[in-house]
Each structure stands twice: as structure tokens, then as C-alpha cells.
Amino acid sequence: MGQAFLEMAIILTLIAVIAPRFGSYIAKVFEGGKSLLDPMMSPLERVIFVAAGIRHSPMMTGWQYLKALLATNILMGMLVFGLLVTQRHLPLNPMKIVGMRWDLALHTTISFLTNTGQQHYVGEKALSYFSQTSAIAFLMFTATATGLAVGIACIRGFTGQPLGNFYVDLTKAITRILLPLSLLGAIALLALGVPETFAPPLEVTTLEGVVQFIARGPVASFESIKLLGGSGGGFFAANSAHPYENPSSASNFLELMMMLLIPTALIHTYGILANQRKQSQVLFWLLVSLFVVLTGIALISESQGNPLINSRIGMEQPSLEGKEMRFGWVDSTIWSVVATTTMSGAVNSMHDSLMPGTVFSTFVGMFLRIIWGGQGMGIAYLLVLAMLAAFLMSLLAGRTPEFLGRKIEQRELQLISMTLLIHPFVILIPSAIAFIFPEAFPGISNPGFHGLSQVIYEYTSGATNNGSRLAGLASNTLWWNLTTSLCILLGRFVPIMTIILLADGMARKPQLTETEVILNSNTGLFISFTILLSIMISFLSFFPVLALGPLAEGLKMTSGIR
């Protein structure tokens, strides 16, 4: 466990140092401040704005912002779907890979359009180089930028500012944040041994005289935006457990930090844009504490190993099943928690082999959605929960509910309810149908408690735009492709719509005077209540799932029942 403590200390120290500074940079980007990238990016942005007809960057209302967002995403989705089903006729296809089946292409398009990255295909066999770069990597940029735009618009609206212009926010998120970072990340990964080539698979002859083809491709650039953008979908089926995506412990640590960089920084961005620096600092360290707790549970669970196996071999050892030996069980365990709390969904070990305690931590990270949450969406969910906490605390004090100096009324409560309740519906309803008719919808490979976790995990990772999977589920069928596609769409765009409308409504409300404001949201009490409220809502919604899944599986293991 000494390695685990050391690595966690290094990660948390780097986060504490980098996040405030990078958060300040993000705030400057969306406030229109000057930066070192201005000489290079300003001319490029002007060309883009002129070509798109956004010369004067008019401010948008909530409905205008939503229409622009939805229209842009629909057009991008149609384009990528067309590329995937016709890829056999497109360039950069040395293996002559045919087009995807329509339901798989639909699922893949929706998955990456929503920054989910859930994969029901084997990347090196199902996608050409052109599809990987011009379709999948393209959506990794735009989906992440969409989430960042929503998060920034939410902060603006909640603090009484205009929401901004979606096209401008989308463009700046790509040109000023994602493009420079992904370029630096790709160079660093190249230096660490990740390939970047359009050459066809390498043909080699093994020692036994058998001809083998080794898949390769433009991996470094793909891997960089995959981790920075929080999509998590792998170039190869093994994802970041593949030596071409993640060749060493050094690359593994770099990729961990890349997943954490933007979500952790956005907490500080909120503090700057909302002039709530003290609140954001307290919030940051409370989220760090929750992250440490979930990681600790996972590390303890993996360090104890599988009691059924340990009893047979007569010694106690950590759980090594499904782990990549280049990283060991510590790096694999920390990665699994980071990937599910940041909604990245990338994997460097097989989650289906994780111990029940680790599966519990990954579930809780996705259910909460705020530690650290998706790119832009994590801070948006935090603000929605903070508004609900402010409403409840104001009622307890017997005063008019308000948040950041603006009244909370019936419309706001309706939108908050829709934002928070959509996820239990889109996770639990299709899961229940799959359990009622298991013969009609095959694919569950494990009976009992673990089989339940497989199904719930599939829909949870879809609804929370995480994308990781307990890969024992045989999911490339019509049922799983269509139901998870619907789950992903509703889990992404219903909260986006309600959050934008909520922010627009708050922006239109008059600012209360200092004598009318009775709730200080900068206190540790208020922020602790907000986090506690999030935990209560998640556990009330999903505790039966946890009890019948990883908790029951863990009890079964420790009791020695076979």
C-alpha cells in the first residue's frame, strides 16, 4: 500500500498546484481576456466566425442557445453516421474495412456525439484510419467543447450574466483549450512511445513461423484528445491497457493527469467567473476528500484480493485478474476511480474483473456525477445541486429561497427536478426490462449479483456519459445498441436543456439587495450540505442496485459461498 499512498499524494499535490492556474486560464478564455495564444488563434477564430456568419457575436437567449446547440449536434451526428456506414469507399482504409451495420453505427455516433465513448465494437477491426480521425476524433473535440460551453453558460446565467453565444463558446473551447492541449499531449505521448502513423498493420512472422498482423495507426493524437476531452473510447479494443495506447508507467501517470486536468480546473473557473473564490476552494477540497474516500475503498478491496482464490493457494495476495502487469494493481485501481469520477470511461484494466469494492466505487462515482464530473457538465450539476441545497436551507430558516442573490421559484424547482430525476429513469427502466425478459435480450454472461451489475453498469455509464463497461456483457446486438443509444441521448440532452433554461431564467431575475440575501453560500456548512444532498439523492435512487450488485457480491465472496 506504500506505492498507493505515494502515488495518491503526488496526484493530489499536482492537482492542487495545476488546477487553480489552469482554471484561471479557462476563465480568461471565456471572459475574452488576452493570452499567449492570441497572435495565433485570434486570426483563425475570425476566419471561423466570418465563415459561420457570426461576425458580431450576439448574445443568445436560453432557447436560442439550445437551438444552436441541438442543430449543430444533429448536423455533426448525421455527418459522422454517413462516414461510418460508407467507410469502405473512403480513403485511409488499408485493411479494406467495410461500413458499420446501421444500429452499431447509430450507437457509435450517438456515443461519441455525447462525449460518452461507449464502444460495442473492436476499434482496430471495425474502423478505418479515416473513420478514427475524421469521425471519432472529430466528435471528441466537438462533444467536449459542447459540454464546456454548457458549463460556462450555466455559470454565467446563475450569476446574472447573459448566457453568451454558443458558436463562440464552442469555437473558443476548441481553439484555446482543446487543440493546444491535445497537441502538447500528443507530442508527450509520442516521446513516451505511442505510435502515430497511417501505415498499414505490420506483418510479422512469429517464432513458430505463423504470420501475424499487428494493428497500429494515428494513436498518439487520438489518445490525447480522448483523455483530455473525457471521451474515453479506445483506438484499440483493449483501450489504455493496450501497449500502443499506454506503453509504460510514465505514460500511464501522464494519462491519469490528462483525465483530471479540465474537470478539476473548472471548479476554480467557477470561483473566478462567479466571484466566489472562497466557495470554489472549499468545494474543491471537499471533492478531493470524496475522491480520496472512493479511491481508498477501491485500493483496500483490490489489496485484499479474492478470498476464494487466496484460500485455495494458501496465501493472501492482491487481485491481479484483468490487470495489466506493466502497471500493477495499484495503478489499475486508481485509474478505474479517476476514469469513473471524471466521466472519462477510459480503462487500463478490465473492469469486469474488478473486486466488488472497486465496482462499488466506480458506481458511486458515476451516480454522483460531481467528483469531478464530465467536462463542463460536472460543474453544471454542482450548481444545480447547490441551488436545491439553497432552497432547502432557506425553507429551514423560514425565509424566501434564493441562490447567489436571485430567487428560487416554482419554475426553477421543476427544472431542477427534471435534471436530477432523468438519470434514475433512463438507467433503471431499461435495466428492469432486460431482467424481465433475459431470453429475448441475450448478452448477460454472468448469473447472479455480478450479472445484475453488468446490466446496470451498461446503462449507468451511458446515462452519465462515462462509457466504461463491465465487458462481459455481449452488447453488440439490436436491443443493446438501441436501448443504450436512447439512454445516452436522454442522459445527455435532457439535462443540457433543463440546465440552459434554468440558467437563462436565473439570468433574467433581478438581483436581491444585500439586506434581502440571507444565505451565505461561501460557508463550509452550505457546501457540505450540498455534497451531502448529492449523496442522499444518489443513494435513495440507486441503493437497491448497489445492495443487490457489488455489495451482495462482496458479502458472498467473504462468506465463502460458491
Answer yes or no: are the C-beta atoms of 345 and 117 closer than 8 Å.
yes
**pLDDT score of 485 more than 70:** yes
106-134 CB burial, b ≥16 within 10 A, e <16: bbbbbbbbbbbbbbbbebbebbbbbbbbb
Q: With cut-offs at 50, 70 and 90, classify the pLDDT of residue 439.
A: low
Instruction: Please name the residue that has the C-alpha cell 462567479.
Output: 274
Which H or E run contains 359? helix 356-368
**What pLDDT is recorded for position 560?**
58
Q: pLDDT (tens digit, 9 = 90+) per residue, 185-217?
A: 999 999 999 999 999 999 898 888 888 989 999
**pLDDT score of 395 more than 90:** no
Q: Can you tell me the mean pLDDT for 484-494?
A: 96
Interaxial angle between packed helices 277-304 and 249-273, expressed in degrees from 0 to 180 and rounded to the nearest 10: 150
**What pLDDT is recorded for position 399?**
78
**What pLDDT is recorded for position 273?**
93
**What pLDDT is recorded for position 525?**
86
Question: Which of 230, 234, 239, 291 is closest to 465 using CA atoms?
Answer: 230
Q: Can you tell me the mean pLDDT for 424-443?
A: 84
Q: What angle do CA 256, 257, 261 make, to 5 degrees?
A: 130
**What pLDDT is recorded for position 561?**
53
Answer yes or no: are the C-beta atoms of 361 and 353 closer than 8 Å.
no
Least confident interval from 48-57, 211-220, 260-269: 48-57
**pLDDT score of 562 more than 90:** no
Which grid cell sits at 288? 478531493
**What pLDDT is recorded for position 514?**
64
**pLDDT score of 55 more than 70:** no
> In this predicted model, which residue has the larger pLDDT, 227 or 52?
227
Q: What does pLDDT average to over the chain?
A: 91
**Spatial distance between the Cα atoms of 415 and 494, rounded to a whole number of angstroms:** 10
Which grid cell sits at 432? 428492469
* CA atoms in the 13 A half-sphere facing the CB of 319: 26
**pLDDT score of 298 more than 90:** yes
Percent of the residues in the chain that have a pLDDT greater than 70, as a whole number: 97
**Spatial distance between the Cα atoms of 240 and 232, rounded to a whole number of angstroms:** 9
Question: Can you tell me whether residue 11 is helix, strand or coil?
Answer: helix
Residue 24 CB partners (closer than 8 Å, separation 6+): 268, 269, 272
Peptide bond into 372 cis (omega under 30): yes
Q: Can you tell me the mean pLDDT for 283-301?
A: 94
Instruction: Please name the residue that has the C-alpha cell 485501481.
Output: 333
**pLDDT score of 269 more than 90:** yes
**pLDDT score of 159 more than 70:** yes
Question: Which of 238, 301, 230, 282 is closest to 461 using CA atoms?
Answer: 230
Q: Can you tell me the mean pLDDT for 520-536?
A: 87
Q: What is the pTM of this model?
A: 0.94
* CA atoms in the 13 A half-sphere facing the CB of 279: 23
**Spatial distance between the Cα atoms of 155 and 162, rounded to a whole number of angstroms:** 10
> In this predicted model, which residue has the larger pLDDT, 292 or 44?
292
Question: Which of 266, 545, 295 is closest to 431 using CA atoms?
Answer: 545
Q: Can you tell me the mean pLDDT for 2-17?
A: 91
**What pLDDT is recorded for position 24?**
95
What DSSP designation does 212 have?
E
- DSSP assignment of 452-515 equals HHHHHHHHHHHHTT-----TTS---SHHHHHHHHHHHHHHHHHHHHHHHHHHHHHHHSPPPPTT
Q: Residue 202 — φ and ψ, nearest 5°?
A: -80, 130
Q: pLDDT (tens digit, 9 = 90+) per residue, 63-95?
A: 999 999 999 999 999 999 999 999 999 999 999
**Spatial distance between the Cα atoms of 56 and 416, rounded to a whole number of angstroms:** 33
Residue 167 CB partners (closer than 8 Å, separation 6+): 49, 52, 54, 68, 72
> In this predicted model, which residue has the larger pLDDT, 393 or 517?
393
Q: pLDDT (tens digit, 9 = 90+) per residue, 320-340?
A: 888 988 898 999 999 999 999
Answer yes or no: are the C-beta atoms of 184 and 177 closer than 8 Å.
no
**pLDDT score of 522 more than 90:** no
**pLDDT score of 314 more than 90:** no
**Spatial distance between the Cα atoms of 253 and 327, rounded to a whole number of angstroms:** 10
Give the CA distances from residue 123 to residues 92, 219, 231, 353, in Å, rounded to whole numbers and listed in that order: 15, 11, 14, 21
**What pLDDT is recorded for position 170?**
95
Which grid cell sits at 511? 438581483
Percent of the residues in the chain that have a pLDDT greater than 90, as a whole number: 70
**Spatial distance between the Cα atoms of 411 and 449, rounded to a whole number of angstroms:** 41
